[in-house]
Every structure is written in structure tokens, then in C-alpha cells.
Amino acid sequence: MSSNVNFEIAPSILSADFCCLLDEIKQVEGKAKYLHIDVMDGHYVPNISFGIPVINKIRPHTDMIFDVHLMITNPEEFVEKFAKVGADAITFHIECTKDPAALISRIKSLGKKAGIAIHPDTPVEKVFPYIKDLDIILLMSVIPGLGGQKFMDDAPARLSAIRAEIDRQGASTILSVDGGIHEATIETAVKAGARLLVAGSAVFDNDDHAKAVEDLICAVRL
């Protein structure tokens, strides 16, 4: 059964087996359009993942949409480099820049989709002034920095508030959600208005990654 609501899954390679990263990506390629790529710098989040050279290496091997989530301080110093190695969408944390509007237009001038991510402690209203200019709003439903955490209880209400404002403004911004998405939570997130569902452990901790994506899609019965 497929849902009447259009939504997409973005498998997050943070939970992939890096010994065979390309093989991991190939397993989800036929099932998902987006690939979520978490970049962590050890400053904004207490963890370091991977960065520009890894994206550069995988880019020629897949046409998936590279949805790059920058969990880094000073994102303005790096967006050009991420654009150059083939990011399709670049999402920065609103907490990490003084001038979100300038960074959005910089990303767009590089020919890329621009996104803002919101930390669970940040009021969602902070993103409202930028909605019309944004391609993606990424609501964090866990504390950024680690896969496999629990979907936060207040995430549905926060998603609904952003959804309502996107609709009120008549914008086409994609509402994305990141953290704790699995079969038991995905429907709630879609119901609350999310349309791009990031899933790391739910996809890559399952031996059959392709089936895991299918199972997530089937778990939405709206």
C-alpha cells in the first residue's frame, strides 16, 4: 500500500558501513532519491564524521541527490567547497551563522538548494523570516551529533508549527526531519507535515537496506 501523501526517504550514511561505503549507497540507490550526508566538525557537535574528500570520491558513482547537512561552525567558510565537490543541497544550522539570509543567497548563487537546520533547543519561529527563500527546512528531532537516538516527544508539534507557516506563506519549502525516524515514528512525522524523512540507523542497521527503505515507506498509512 502506498500513501496518498508524497514524501521521500533520505538514507543517512552516518550509519553506513564505511568499509564499503559505495556498496552501501548502491543498495539504497534504487529505493530513495536523496542521500543524506552528515558533516560534523567536532565543534558545533561533539563528534567528527567525514567531509569534502569523501563526498568528492562518491559523487561520480551515483546520481542520488546529495543532501548535505553541515553540523559545523562557520559554514560560510565551506559552502563553496561543498558545492564544488557535488552537493546538491546544502543545509547549515541557523545557530551557526549571524547572517542566514546572506548564506542562503550564497548557496543559491552556487546553483545549489539551500536549507536551514534547527536544533531542538532553538525556537522554530527563528526560521520563519527565511521560509520563502529556503528550499529545505530541516527540523532536528534528536540532539545533533549522533545516530540511533530517540525521536523527541515535542518534534511533531514543532513540525506542525513549521508546516502551518510554510503553508500560510504559500511557500514550496520542503520540510525535512532528522533523527529517530523508524517504522514506529515515521507516520507521526509525515502526519505533522514532514516530507523528506532522514533515516540512518533504521536503514543501515538493517541487513537489507533496500527493504528497510521500503518498510519505512509502507509504515505510512495516511
Residues that bind Zn ion (CB under 5 A): 38, 69, 178
User: Smaller CB distance to Zn ion: residue 24 or 38?
Assistant: 38
- The distance of Cα 135 from the centroid of its chain, to the nearest Å, equals 12
User: Smaller CB distance to ligand DX5: residue 173 or 201?
Assistant: 201
Per CB under 6 A, 88 contacts ligand DX5: no
Single out the catalytic residue among 38, 41, 67, 135. 38
Helix (H, G, I), strand (E, B) or coil at 12: strand
Output DSSP code: residue 41. Answer: B
Single out the catalytic residue among 41, 67, 135, 178. 178
Q: Which helix (H) or strand (E) holds 113?
A: strand 113-118
Given ligand DX5, Zn ion, none, residue 149, with its beta carbon under 5 to 8 Å by kind, binds ligand DX5
Looking at residue 52, its amino acid is I
How many Cβ atoms sit within 10 Å of the Cβ of residue 167? 12
Per CB under 6 A, 136 contacts ligand DX5: no
Per CB under 6 A, 149 contacts ligand DX5: yes
Active site residue 38: yes
User: Smaller CB distance to ligand DX5: residue 143 or 171?
Assistant: 143
Q: Residue 134 and residue 139: Cα distance in Å, rounded?
A: 13
Tell the smallest beta-carbon distance from residue 144 to ligand DX5 (Å): 4
Active site residue 178: yes
User: Smaller CB distance to ligand DX5: residue 103 or 139?
Assistant: 139
- The distance of Cα 180 from the centroid of its chain, to the nearest Å, equals 12
Q: Residue 114 and residue 75: Cα distance in Å, rounded?
A: 12
Q: Which residues contact 25 (CB under 8 A, 6 or more apart)?
A: 13, 16, 35, 58, 61, 62, 64
Give which of 159, 96, 94 is closest to 133, Cα–Cα.
Answer: 94
Q: Point out which span in 77-85, 95-103, 129-137, 142-150 binds ligand DX5 (CB under 6 A).
A: 142-150
The catalytic residues are 38, 178
Which residues here bind ligand DX5, judged by CB under 6 A? 12, 14-15, 36, 38, 69, 142, 144-149, 178-181, 198-202
